[in-house]
Structure 1
């Protein structure tokens, strides 16, 4: 039997000395720190020969120690993620493989003190706290509701409304209302807070200039053609004019010109504020002027220039934002807030036929306090446009996706024969049946 002391600066260095002189099967008698140095007392009783029983026993003990070490590492990781300390010494029952045991004593401390591990653990704890806060907020908002209110909350969220609006509406629900009374009451409350164009005469029978704003592809040009068609049906084509400022998109002006040619309406182009001012001066005698603004992303810096162009004209131009019914609530809110930099006079809900649900666009309209002038539900000119019935629109939002009932469109009854024979597509090409 050989017993010897080893002194080194770190435990790892001392263990390497033990392994070099006494072998991997050395037994650690003591391990202590002296003035910043590590002193290890170790002994070696025998040297295992290849193929001997002693070697087999040592290998078995080593495997057991490795398994214990792996299990301990897993538990340490769990403790670290839960914010618990892991500075305790490891004392496995099997002590035959002393090198692994001493390495296990030192490794957790190194893991904890590693800067990258510390940063990762901090981020994970912050994420866990955020998730817990959100779950608690959602849990508290539903636990305080009665079963009827929780069921109504589920219907609001399924329809596409956000949690904040749902909580505001349901929080005002009388506590003695039954499940059958709750939903109609909530829909009536939404309708009461929604502003819509009650009478189309506000547009058709009065002098007005309307500029349609919004991102590319939202349906501004087609919507202008539909409104112009309704005006022509009632008043003819002498008191209306169309203006295009879309000088960025190839063929943008031509698309509006095709619509104007079919309707017999004059179409003008204006590339800047000065040309727009001059054009509006020429059209002072027109009862209705519709301006097709260039489609711009809400992230485009030219949005402000576009709004300045309208404000610099010495005319009362009503700014109307087109909202894609199939867009997400966050996107619709972002679009509305960006184009509302100089104020908005209303909105038009477009592409309702492409939307899975209408809750998101209704939520955006209410949240941004926008007046809804029209709703479009297809590409046909002029059929697929209507004034908005608030109750019908909100009922459509709460209908399940697989419902066979669709939002009905009010169609003019006095359509001329040529409208029934010609349909203008979204791309601006006339197709004849």
Structure 2
């Protein structure tokens, strides 16, 4: 293992020397005060256990894989603590230099927005004389950044497929949109299709809806491909396709996504539940995007604690929000999405979260997780 001593007049300078020599992944083994400053012993990021064993076999004393694994775990813990400390130093520096922007940052964190979006918003907001003015400018920037469809595409007809995880609200959203269309145009020009050919309950739910509305219902299975089914419904003005919410590696998921990708006349929308964590939303997007996604629907807004993670995904992926849903009532509790309404709801949820003090560690990590431009500058200033 490569070890090196760094002596500097203070800890901040020593840590900077360590990073310059070994990079951001360096591990600190020990620190102590010495005459004229501090001494830090550090090592580069550990290699894999197998490579370490090979190295140690030729360089006595030899270290076992188990011992090396324990050492690497301890070094990673030290590195994590060091990163938290650096995040804290960067945040404190930022808060001292620009207290109004720091206050806005905390509000954005309470809304669930990630650091990269927060940085962009503050850059776009620019300067302001008061905190309230800066907040209004920040929200105005968020409205402009939020992509929306700004129309009701289902009202004019077409073929639309609804993708997303189980429980996202796909079938309920289809029921709302189909009911609205039937009330305005009658049932003769509407058809419902499901690609979920292995869950009986899914068939029955859609068939029940079809009987209530008096519309055609078709099932895609081994005997009836999606292409053939859609061709048989070419005379219908509106076709809504329900899909199964399955893990990304499930063979049925790959089959239905592949079939949808082969039908360019179908508009694929991903249904994102705002009650889900950001990682779940990102995984859903990654899976569904293979079929080609032209829009999204944000659901369960009445049950959500924050909306920032869902909005951030839409902003980062440039996928417009088509509808928002906020309850189970059919055909109500659904609206064409507008950026102003989405941001207003996100602010209201964030205000409820901010009723209790925002966790300091969460704010610091949010600030430190952003791309280098702002956080790195603050870290360099802090050091």
Same fold (TM over 0.5): yes
DSSP 3-state at the match of 2:302: helix
Does 2:152 correspond to 1:211?
no
**Is contact 2:125–2:141 with CA below 8 Å preserved after alignment?**
no
Aligned to 1:6: none
Aligned to 1:67: none
Describe the superposition over 1:237-257 as per-residue Cα deviations: whole angstroms up to 9, x where unpaired: 121111111112232111011
In the alignment, the residues of structure 2 paired with residue 347 and residue 262 of structure 1 have an alpha-carbon distance, to the nearest angstrom, of 27
In the alignment, the residues of structure 2 paired with residue 148 and residue 191 of structure 1 have an alpha-carbon distance, to the nearest angstrom, of 20
Residue 248 and residue 143 in structure 1: after superposition, are their counterparts in 2 closer, same or farther (change >3 A)? farther
**Is contact 1:273–1:310 with CA below 8 Å preserved after alignment?**
no
Residue 298 and residue 155 in structure 1: after superposition, are their counterparts in 2 closer, same or farther (change >3 A)? farther
1:28-427 matches, within 5 Å, as 82=30, 119-137=69-87, 139-140=89-90, 143-144=93-94, 146-200=98-152, 202-205=153-156, 207-272=157-222, 275-313=225-263, 315-399=264-348, 400-401=351-352
Which consecutive residues of structure 1, in runs of 5 or more, have no partner in the other structure?
1-79, 85-111, 405-433
Residue 143 and residue 114 in structure 1: after superposition, are their counterparts in 2 closer, same or farther (change >3 A)? same
DSSP 3-state at the match of 2:324: strand
In the alignment, the residues of structure 2 paired with residue 262 and residue 245 of structure 1 have an alpha-carbon distance, to the nearest angstrom, of 20
Which consecutive residues of structure 2, in runs of 5 or more, have no partner in the other structure?
1-27, 33-60, 356-383
1:331 Cα offset (Å): 1.3
Aligned to 1:28: none
Residue 139 and residue 288 in structure 1: after superposition, are their counterparts in 2 closer, same or farther (change >3 A)? farther
1:216 Cα offset (Å): 1.3
DSSP 3-state at the match of 2:160: strand
1:119 Cα offset (Å): 4.9
Residue 119 and residue 251 in structure 1: after superposition, are their counterparts in 2 closer, same or farther (change >3 A)? closer
**Is contact 2:139–2:343 with CA below 8 Å preserved after alignment?**
yes
Q: How many residues align?
A: 296
**Is contact 1:187–1:391 with CA below 8 Å preserved after alignment?**
no
Residue 122 and residue 182 in structure 1: after superposition, are their counterparts in 2 closer, same or farther (change >3 A)? same
- If you compute each CA radius of gyration, which structure gives the higher value, 1 or 2? 1
Describe the superposition over 1:109-158 as per-residue Cα deviations: whole angstroms up to 9, x where unpaired: xxx99755665344323332243235424642563351110001101111
**Is contact 1:160–1:360 with CA below 8 Å preserved after alignment?**
yes
**Is contact 1:222–1:379 with CA below 8 Å preserved after alignment?**
yes
TM, length-normalised to structure 1: 0.63
Greater RCO (CA < 8 Å, at least 6 residues apart): 2
**Is contact 2:107–2:354 with CA below 8 Å preserved after alignment?**
no
Describe the superposition over 1:89-122 as per-residue Cα deviations: whole angstroms up to 9, x where unpaired: xxxxxxxxxxxxxxxxxxxxxxx99755665344
TM, length-normalised to structure 2: 0.70
Residue 234 and residue 118 in structure 1: after superposition, are their counterparts in 2 closer, same or farther (change >3 A)? closer
DSSP 3-state at the match of 1:352: coil
Residue 238 and residue 354 in structure 1: after superposition, are their counterparts in 2 closer, same or farther (change >3 A)? same
Residue 299 and residue 366 in structure 1: after superposition, are their counterparts in 2 closer, same or farther (change >3 A)? farther
